[in-house]
């Protein structure tokens, strides 16, 4: 593969390697020890929240976050239909019911205009995803949640560093989850976290990530092993220092893609709201067949032949086999159908060079027969 969709290299330095050696020789490799606590504190300061509870994956972070709020079995969680399945699975693991809402074709995020019509007496929360790092309309979502007296959660797996009105996205809603897997701006190899301000939920999360054990081996509830290890926390601290550089790089990459592709018929970009700051975990385009001449699938196949890897995120979640029983069979989601058909994510990573971007754009222009 000449140009991968991601290239998650970590540039090490002497201080990081020395600290890793210290951990490996310390006898304290996992649990909640020195570096996990430091990482939680530093990340909490960066996100401007009182608490961060580090986990070994974003999936576990979301599963345990929902568990910590202790919702009644069968309660409903409103979610976007254009998102990653990993953001929906934890709802079912908690014996809750996903209620799918259409997505806006321009921002690619959950469409707030549809949410109120989906709220019932069983609704306990909205779980909105900041798709590809693009902030949702958090203020409208907060207004809806407040008026209907339900919780508001955010899936920030793509959105480390994204902001709205110059504020961290973790400052909105009742709790947010983050991912640190290798494709993300900030990686701990694998890992995740819950960011929040509620003290009692933080205490529950700390117990739930340790099997529900409050250290006396008498489990008040059934948790699981969600603990982050010390090496991952060290990497997180190292990456957090470099996050401003990563964000600048990603935005520069997005700007160059837009500059080079803006005049290509049938190619459009993800819209951002005023006062939003996009992390560009992914750079997504929409491919309109009528104007471009080919579908997103056909463009992807052409680029792959040229050694350029792309991704087709996402399918309409409620059409996945495991969610069919929860689907609204009277109407498939119109906006999401368009996105599922047209969205193609181009290669993007922290240290991507200009020449690589130009090569990708040249191949797209060749297919579109644009000089």
SS3 letters across 210-275: ECCECCCCCECCCCCECCCCHHHHHHHHHHHHHHHHHHHHHHHHHHHHHHHHCCCCCEEECCCCCC
Q: Which strands, in side-by-side order, build the sheet including 343-346?
A: 267-269, 283-287, 343-346
What is the per-residue pLDDT for 220? 79
User: Per CATH, the architecture of 243-368 is what?
Assistant: Alpha-Beta Complex (3.90)
Taking only the tens place, the pLDDT of each residue in 12-21 is: 889 899 989 9
Q: What is the CATH number of domain 14-102+109-239?
A: 3.40.640.10
What is the per-residue pLDDT for 326? 87
Q: Tell me, what DSSP letter sits at residue 311? A: B
Contact 178, 58 (CB under 8 A): yes
Residue in 116, 122, 126, 130 with CA at minimum distance from that of residue 83: 130
Domain ranges within the chain, ordered by starting residue: 14-102+109-239, 243-368
92-98's contacts with Cβ under 8 Å and 24+ in sequence apart are 92/322, 93/63, 94/63, 94/66, 94/67, 96/66, 96/71, 96/124, 97/122, 97/326, 98/317, 98/318, 98/323, 98/326
Q: What is the C-alpha to C-alpha distance for residues 255 and 362, in angstroms, rounded to an integer?
A: 16
Q: Decide the pairing of beta strands 192-196 and 51-55.
A: antiparallel
In the three-class reduction of DSSP (H, G, I as helix; E, B as strand; rest coil), residue 24 is classed as helix
Q: What is the pTM of this model?
A: 0.96
Q: Tell me, what DSSP letter sits at residue 39? A: H
Q: What is the C-alpha to C-alpha distance for residues 342 and 264, in angstroms, rounded to an integer?
A: 15
Contact 78, 126 (CB under 8 A): yes
Q: What is the C-alpha to C-alpha distance for residues 231 and 237, in angstroms, rounded to an integer?
A: 10
Q: Mean pLDDT in runs of 10 for the chain (371 residues)?
A: 90 89 85 89 98 97 98 97 96 96 97 95 98 98 98 98 98 98 95 98 95 80 92 96 97 98 97 97 98 97 97 90 80 88 97 97 92 63
**Burial state string for 313-334 with b = 16 or more CB within 10 A and e = fewer than 16:** bbebbbbeeebeebbeeeebbe
Taking only the tens place, the pLDDT of each residue in 101-130 is: 999 999 999 999 999 999 999 999 999 999
Backbone angles phi, psi at 242, to 5 degrees: -95, 0
């Amino acid at each position: 593969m000449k140009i991968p969709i991601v290239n998650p290299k970590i540039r090490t330095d002497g201080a990081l390697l020395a600290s890793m050696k210290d951990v490996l020789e310390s006898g304290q490799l996992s649990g909640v020890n020195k570096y996990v606590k430091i990482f939680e504190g530093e990340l909490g300061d960066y996100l401007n929240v009182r608490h961060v509870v580090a986990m070994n994956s974003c999936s576990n972070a979301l599963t345990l976050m929902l568990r910590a709020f202790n919702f009644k079995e069968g309660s409903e969680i409103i979610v976007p239909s254009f998102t990653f399945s990993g953001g929906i699975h934890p709802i079912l693991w908690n014996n809750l019911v996903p209620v799918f809402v259409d997505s806006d074709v321009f921002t690619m995020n959950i469409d707030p205009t549809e949410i109120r019509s989906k709220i019932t007496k069983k609704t306990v929360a909205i779980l909105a995803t900041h798709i590809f790092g693009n902030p949702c309309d958090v203020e409208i979502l907060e207004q809806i949640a407040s008026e209907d007296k339900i919780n508001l959660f955010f899936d920030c797996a793509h959105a480390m560093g994204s902001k709205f009105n110059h504020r961290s996205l973790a400052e909105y809603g009742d709790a947010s989850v983050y991912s640190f897997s290798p494709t993300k701006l900030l990686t701990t190899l694998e890992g995740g976290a819950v960011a929040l301000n509620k003290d009692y939920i933080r205490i529950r999360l700390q117990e739930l990530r340790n099997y529900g054990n409050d250290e006396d081996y008498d489990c008040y509830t059934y948790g699981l092993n969600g603990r982050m290890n010390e090496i991952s926390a060290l990497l997180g601290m190292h990456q957090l220092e470099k996050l401003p550089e990563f964000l600048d790089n990603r935005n520069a990459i997005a700007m160059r893609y837009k500059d080079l592709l803006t005049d290509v018929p049938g190619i459009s970009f993800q819209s951002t709201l005023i006062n939003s700051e996009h992390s560009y975990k992914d750079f997504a385009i929409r491919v309109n067949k009528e104007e471009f001449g080919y579908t997103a699938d056909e463009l992807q196949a052409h680029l792959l032949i040229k050694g350029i890897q792309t991704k087709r995120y996402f399918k309409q979640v409620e059409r996945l086999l495991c969610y069919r029983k929860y689907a609204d069979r009277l109407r498939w989601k119109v906006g999401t159908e368009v996105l599922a058909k047209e969205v193609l994510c181009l290669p993007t990573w922290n240290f991507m060079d200009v020449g690589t971007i130009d090569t990708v754009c040249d191949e797209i222009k060749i297919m579109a027969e644009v000089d």
